[in-house]
Amino acid sequence: MISKFKEIYLYREMIASLVRKDLRGRYKGSVLGFFWTFLNPLMQLLVYSLVFSIIVRVEVEKYYLFLFVALIPWIFFSSALTSGSGVILNQKDMVKKIYFPREVLPIAHALTNFINMLFSFIVVFIVILISGVGINFIALLYLPLIMLIEFTLVLGITFLTSSITVYMRDLEHIMTILNMLWMYLTPILYSITMIPEVYLPYIQLNPMTAVIVAYRDILYYAQVPHIQTLLSAVIMAVVVLVVGYLVFTKIQRYFAEEL
Amino acid sequence: MNAIIVENLHKKFKVFYDKGQTFKEKLLFRNRNYYENRWVLQGISFDVLKGEAVGLIGENGSGKSTMLKLLTRIIYPEQGKIVMNGRVSSLIELGAGFHPDMSGRENIYTNASIFGLSRKEIDARIAEVIEFSELGEFIDTPVRTYSSGMYMRLAFSVAINVDADILLIDEILAVGDASFQAKCFNKLREIKRKGTTVVIVSHALGQIEQFCDRAIWIDHGVIVAQGTPREVIPQYLNFMGKKYDKTPEPAKSNDGELRVGNRDIEIVEVRMLNDGKESYNFMAGSRVEIEISYKVNKISEGSIFGIGIFRNDGVHCYGTNTFIDAISTDELAKQGKVRFVVEQFNLLPSEYTLDVAIHTEDGFFFDAIDKVKKFSVYSNIGDIGVTRLDHLWHFESDK
């Protein structure tokens, strides 16, 4: 186990170069290029806030901000479900022919999307400033922590989806549906207080619930998140990562033969 | 110290009759998931010392490439274990992760990082890699503009400059032109001298003989023989030769194209003998006889027996006949054998074909067969060319 971590550390340059290649290659050839990193979430924000503050009319003050601080972390999470499930499959040729610790691929994928989220946060802060909600700097200290927790969760899910997809190609498509379902089962478009009490325990079993609540506490309500919220976020993220990693290491031995 | 320890390795592959890949197929056609287990390796054990060069030889499908893949850790064994001490690099898949739009220099970084090199380590090697690749100013242009030769040169340069402790090679040196191949081979020797352990899988027995300290012959997933290449390769060739002899020879099919003549004097059989035994693989420098059995169907005057030897690339290596050598054939028995004896058969390693003919002085053929036999020559001396010249080296001082 320890030697595995050492090995992954040895391959850090490979992770870095995969991330670099992905970030640079993603918008290659498009006119707006890297600007899409900002434009994409802004467009989503526009659509959702139009629907939910003008048509559906959710009774939330400054709904666009309420939504935006949750939407950006969600986009990061959903990358683990959608594109994350294909990371091993897409690198088929490499996996079949040369050795490197396979963990490198999901790690690089999670990192790429994490960095993308960081870039999006520039826009988040601009929107916060414009909204006039203000920033609580003590609460802000918790932001890196919750980001780290979410990263742990995303990595764990990516380990799971990417490895299982090798054996069950349908998972990639199933994930698109699951992604949509999961989004509506997470308090992103609505507040956790709107959920009927009977369903609350189930919603809280969703590891993303605590994460989103914490983000929203810090950035929208400008308050320090509850210790309970943080604790349940940490525990669930670590459990998911451990399970994901164990599944991954168990079945990665036969990747080359399955691909 | 052992660099590689392989213990009782077993590997099987599942061969599916009709494999369902998707969930639906797996669920609906569960009975389609029938498969057969094919055991490719059945108990292989060997050790490789640090700094040793080992060649794995065997027919196609013998399991030697699977063995190399297991050493690379792309696939894992069902049973047994492999211990590798040190950093492993492989010359198996050259140019892994190359991005066509990125420059040669950028691709060096990507490619080297896949071998587990850190940025610092790559920085330290990059000048050497570029120099070895002979790409010069092209190093900063996108890889998609490269010719395939340039591409392979760059890929090889990266892989060879990783400074691995263990280097795994599959079918070396199909890289670039002859001069670059020679350069690669020299580089490999240099790497070996520095103490790198090397494992090669190759069909080029000559290369294994020249480069390896030990050869391991694998057949049907078990080790048949191992030892110095000098010991093992002849055994292997002998085995292959016997298999090869079972396949029909072109001469036996009387398809006219290869055989001409009126058969007044007929060639009944042609055999090659190596140290008294019929064989078509021999060591350069050993005693070789070509035995032509003939039958006189109609008494004819002035028959000449001749032979010709061609290398597989068409070079006419040698040809002579009884007329050139002023051998009289006036008292030819009605039926008999003619033996062409070479005490030291000095053609160098390659594959050859043999032509034999019986004809008159003015070129009228009684019977002539092209490519009646194929044979190959091996050697444990590294000299090159067509034939070995008998030679000595003398050193004299001018004083």
Nearest to A168 among B23, B72, B93 (CB): B23
Q: What is the pLDDT of residue B307?
A: 93
**Do B171 and B81 share a domain, yes or no?**
yes
**Pick from B75, B18, B17: which is nearest to B41 by CA?**
B75
**Pick from B214, B178, B282: which is nearest to B51 by CA?**
B214
**Do B102 and B180 share a domain, yes or no?**
yes
Report, as an integer, the average pLDDT of B147-153.
83
Q: What is the pLDDT of residue B257?
A: 47
Nearest CA in chain B to A97: B93
CATH of residue B56's domain is 3.40.50.300
Do the Cβ atoms of A98 and B23 come within 8 Å?
no
Structural domain count of chain B? 2
Look at phi and psi of residue B103 and say left if phi exceeds 0, alpha if psi is from -120 to 50, else beta: beta
Rounded to whole angstroms, the Cα distance separating B132 from B102 reads 20
Q: What is the pLDDT of residue B232?
A: 87
Nearest to A99 among B74, B97, B112 (CB): B74
Strands (E), chain A: none
Residue B182 tokens, joined: 């020679």
Q: How confident is the model at residue B31 (pLDDT cuts 50, 70, 90)?
A: low
Q: How confident is the model at residue B248 (pLDDT cuts 50, 70, 90)?
A: very low
Nearest to A11 among B13, B26, B116 (CB): B116
pLDDT per residue over B197-222, tens digit each?
A: 999 988 777 778 888 899 999 998 88
* Residue B280 belongs to some domain of the structure: yes
Nearest CA in chain A to B122: A13
Q: What is the mean pLDDT of chain A?
A: 89
List the domain range (segments joined by +) for residue B165. Answer: 2-240
Residue environment code for B266-283, b if the CB has 16+ CB neighbours within 10 A, otherwise e: bbeebbbbbeeeebbbbb
Could you tell me which residue, B141 or B97, shows the higher pLDDT? B141
**Beta-bridge mates of residue B274:** B277, B288
According to DSSP H, which parts of chain B are helical?
Answer: 23-28, 64-72, 104-114, 119-133, 148-160, 178-193, 205-211, 229-246
Determine the Cα angle at B318 with ends B312 and B320, to 5°: 135
Which of A14, A95, A255, A258 is most worth mutating to test chain B (most B CB atoms within 10 A of its CB)? Answer: A14
Task: Map residue B39 onto helix, strand or coil.
Answer: strand
Q: What is the pLDDT of residue B99?
A: 80
Nearest to A97 among B14, B93, B101 (CB): B93
Rounded to whole angstroms, the Cα distance separating B230 from B367 reads 39
pLDDT above 70: residue B26:
no
**Strongest mean pLDDT among A174-188, B163-177, B313-327:** A174-188
**Percent of the residues in chain B that have a pLDDT greater than 70, as a whole number:** 90
Nearest CA in chain A to B98: A94
Nearest CA in chain A to B112: A14
Q: Does the CA dihedral A72-A8-A244-B25 come out positive or negative? A: positive
* Residue B48 belongs to some domain of the structure: yes
**Do B35 and B161 share a domain, yes or no?**
yes
Burial category of B28 from C-beta neighbours within 10 Å (exposed 0-12, middle 13-18, buried 19 and up): exposed
Nearest to B114 among A100, A170, A257 (CB): A100
**Do B114 and B40 share a domain, yes or no?**
yes
**Beta-bridge mates of residue B10:** B42, B79
Report, as an integer, the average pLDDT of A225-229.
92
Report, as an integer, the average pLDDT of B270-297.
88
Supply the pTM of this predicted model. 0.73
Q: How confident is the model at residue B133 (pLDDT cuts 50, 70, 90)?
A: confident
Q: Tell me which of B188, B205, B240 is where a domain ends.
A: B240
**Beta-bridge mates of residue B351:** B376
Do the Cβ atoms of A16 and B113 come within 8 Å?
yes
Lowest mean pLDDT among A153-162, B43-52, B176-185, B280-289: B176-185
Could you tell me which residue, B173 or B115, shows the higher pLDDT? B115
Q: How confident is the model at residue A61 (pLDDT cuts 50, 70, 90)?
A: confident
Determine the Cα angle at B24 with ends A169 and A153, to 5°: 40
A16 chain-B contacts, CB cut-off 8 A: 113, 119
**Do B97 and B171 share a domain, yes or no?**
yes
A17 chain-B contacts, CB cut-off 8 A: 109-110, 113
Q: Is residue A17 within 8 angstroms of chain B, CB to CB? A: yes
Could you tell me which residue, A147 or B209, shows the higher pLDDT? A147
Burial category of A5 from C-beta neighbours within 10 Å (exposed 0-12, middle 13-18, buried 19 and up): exposed
Q: What is the pLDDT of residue B173?
A: 59
Residue B368 tokens, joined: 């002539």
Which of B 74-133 lie inside 8 A of A, CB atoms?
74-76, 88, 90, 92-93, 96-97, 99, 101-102, 109-110, 112-119, 122
pLDDT per residue over B4-17, tens digit each?
A: 999 888 988 877 76
pLDDT above 90: residue B253:
no
* Residue B288 belongs to some domain of the structure: yes
**Strongest mean pLDDT among A37-41, A70-74, A132-136, B345-349:** A70-74
Q: What is the ipTM of this complex?
A: 0.76
pLDDT above 80: residue B399:
no
**Do B330 and B369 share a domain, yes or no?**
yes
Q: What is the pLDDT of residue A141?
A: 93
**Do B349 and B373 share a domain, yes or no?**
yes
Q: What is the pLDDT of residue B324?
A: 87
Report, as an integer, the average pLDDT of B106-128.
88
Could you tell me which residue, B131 or B35, shows the higher pLDDT? B131
Rounded to whole angstroms, the Cα distance separating B110 from B11 reads 32
Q: Is residue A96 within 8 angstroms of chain B, CB to CB? A: yes
Could you tell me which residue, A151 or A26, shows the higher pLDDT? A151
Sheet with B222-227: strands ordered across: B88-91, B166-170, B197-201, B53-57, B214-219, B222-227
Rounded to a whole number, what is the distance in Å from the CA of B71 to chain A's nearest CA? 10
Q: What is the mean pLDDT of chain B?
A: 83
Q: Tell me which of B190, B210, B240 is where a domain ends.
A: B240
Torsion from C-alpha of B71, B76, B80, B83, nearest 10 degrees:
40
pLDDT above 50: residue B168:
yes
pLDDT above 70: residue B230:
yes
Report, as an integer, the average pLDDT of A247-252.
92
Nearest to B75 among A171, A174, A257 (CB): A257
**Do B350 and B374 share a domain, yes or no?**
yes
Q: What is the pLDDT of residue B251?
A: 43
Strand B197-201 and strand B166-170: the pairing is parallel
Distance between alpha carbon B390 and the CA centroid of its chain, in Å?
26
* Residue B291 belongs to some domain of the structure: yes
DSSP 8-state code for residue A128 = H
pLDDT above 80: residue A127:
yes
* Residue B389 belongs to some domain of the structure: no
pLDDT above 80: residue A30:
no
* Residue B69 belongs to some domain of the structure: yes
* Residue B64 belongs to some domain of the structure: yes
pLDDT per residue over B153-162, tens digit each?
A: 888 888 888 8
pLDDT above 90: residue A178:
yes
**Do B235 and B261 share a domain, yes or no?**
no
Residue A137 tokens, joined: 């700097």
**Do B175 and B287 share a domain, yes or no?**
no
The total number of residues written for chain B in this structure: 399
Do the Cβ atoms of A21 and B110 come within 8 Å?
yes
Which of B114, B143, B144, B166 is most worth mutating to test chain A (most A CB atoms within 10 A of its CB)? Answer: B114
pLDDT above 80: residue B178:
no
Rounded to whole angstroms, the Cα distance separating B374 from B354 reads 6
Q: What is the pLDDT of residue B256?
A: 41
Q: What is the pLDDT of residue B73?
A: 87
Q: How confident is the model at residue A31 (pLDDT cuts 50, 70, 90)?
A: low
CATH of residue B349's domain is 2.70.50.60
Q: What is the pLDDT of residue A163?
A: 94
Report, as an integer, the average pLDDT of B91-104.
78
Lowest mean pLDDT among A48-57, A72-81, A175-184, B366-375: A48-57
